[in-house]
């Protein structure tokens, strides 16, 4: 997911200028404002919705797959349009839905491991997002654009990655999961962890 969203926002001004006619100097401001507003509202909404539907790991995966799939539809459709206002409306809805996945992702990362492993789980999640999303997105966009030489097709390929992400989240619904959020460590695990913290400075 990070692959397509980061690439779209890095190249948003270039992508949107020839596609919907945004003046390039205004594109950064318009797309930046949409991203900030939708990021805040979407992230808070995702957490609120997960709380309202009873927060469980399967429900988090349902919210992840549904929000990602709908967000992919809106983002994909936005890049097929030529109207500036339609593009802004649909891309804002798509971003809102994609950002709504933040709370469920963090919920799954925190609840699928024992309490002592929560920091490691969140750290691995953050590193994976950067390694598989942020880092390769810009070069991949350049490679795709060099081969296709069409910003519209490049944007559509990027947003179609969200459909793959939605499918992967959907598979997570059916995986047998155990919520370990309130899991207590055994005495031997506590003692081993204490000994490791004493040995390592």
The tens digit of pLDDT for each residue in 61-105 reads 999 999 999 999 999 998 888 888 888 899 899 999 999 999 999
What confidence score (pLDDT) does residue 189 get? Answer: 60
Least Cα distance to 43 among 106, 1, 90, 86 occurs for 106
Task: Quote the CA–CA distance of 9 and 32 in Å, as a whole number.
Answer: 8
- Would you place residue 190 in the very low, low, confident or very high pLDDT band (cuts 50, 70, 90)? low
Q: What angle do CA 123, 129, 131 make, to 5 degrees?
A: 100
Q: Can you tell me the distance from the alpha carbon of 88 to that of 50, in angstroms, rounded to the nearest whole number?
A: 27
Q: Is the pLDDT assigned to residue 16 strictly greater than 90?
A: no
Instruction: Return all residues near 66 (Cβ < 8 A) that are at least 6 apart.
Output: 166
- What confidence score (pLDDT) does residue 84 get? 80
Query: Can you tell me the distance from the alpha carbon of 191 to that of 196, in angstroms, rounded to the nearest whole number?
Result: 9
Q: Give the residue-averaged pLDDT of 185-194.
A: 59
User: Chain-wide mean pLDDT for the chain?
Assistant: 83
Query: How far is 28 from 31, CA to CA, in rounded Å?
Result: 5
Polymer length of the chain = 201
Q: Please name which of 45, 25, 15 lies closest in space to residue 144, comparing C-alpha atoms.
A: 15
Copy the structure tokens of residue 117.
Answer: 């492993």
Residue 191 has a pLDDT of: 62
* Domains of the chain and any CATH numbers: 2-199 (1.20.1250.20)
């Amino acid at each position: 997911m990070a692959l397509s969203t980061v690439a779209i926002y890095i190249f948003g001004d270039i992508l949107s200028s020839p596609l919907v006619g945004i003046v390039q100097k205004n594109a950064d401001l318009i797309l930046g404002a949409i991203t900030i507003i939708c990021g805040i509202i979407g992230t808070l909404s995702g957490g609120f919705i997960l709380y309202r539907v009873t927060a469980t790991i399967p429900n988090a995966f349902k919210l992840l797959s549904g929000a990602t799939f709908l967000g992919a539809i809106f983002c994909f459709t936005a890049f097929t349009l030529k109207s500036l206002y339609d593009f802004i409306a649909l891309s804002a809805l798509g971003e809102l839905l994609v950002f709504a996945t933040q709370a469920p992702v963090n919920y799954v990362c925190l609840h699928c491991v024992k309490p002592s492993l929560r920091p490691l789980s969140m750290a691995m999640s953050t590193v994976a997002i950067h390694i598989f999303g942020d880092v390769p997105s810009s070069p991949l966009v350049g490679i795709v654009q060099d081969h296709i030489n069409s910003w519209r097709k490049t944007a559509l390929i990027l947003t179609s990655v969200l459909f793959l992400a939605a499918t992967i989240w959907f598979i997570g619904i059916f995986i047998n999961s155990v919520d370990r959020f309130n899991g207590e460590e055994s005495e031997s695990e506590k003692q081993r962890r204490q000994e490791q913290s004493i040995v390592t400075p």
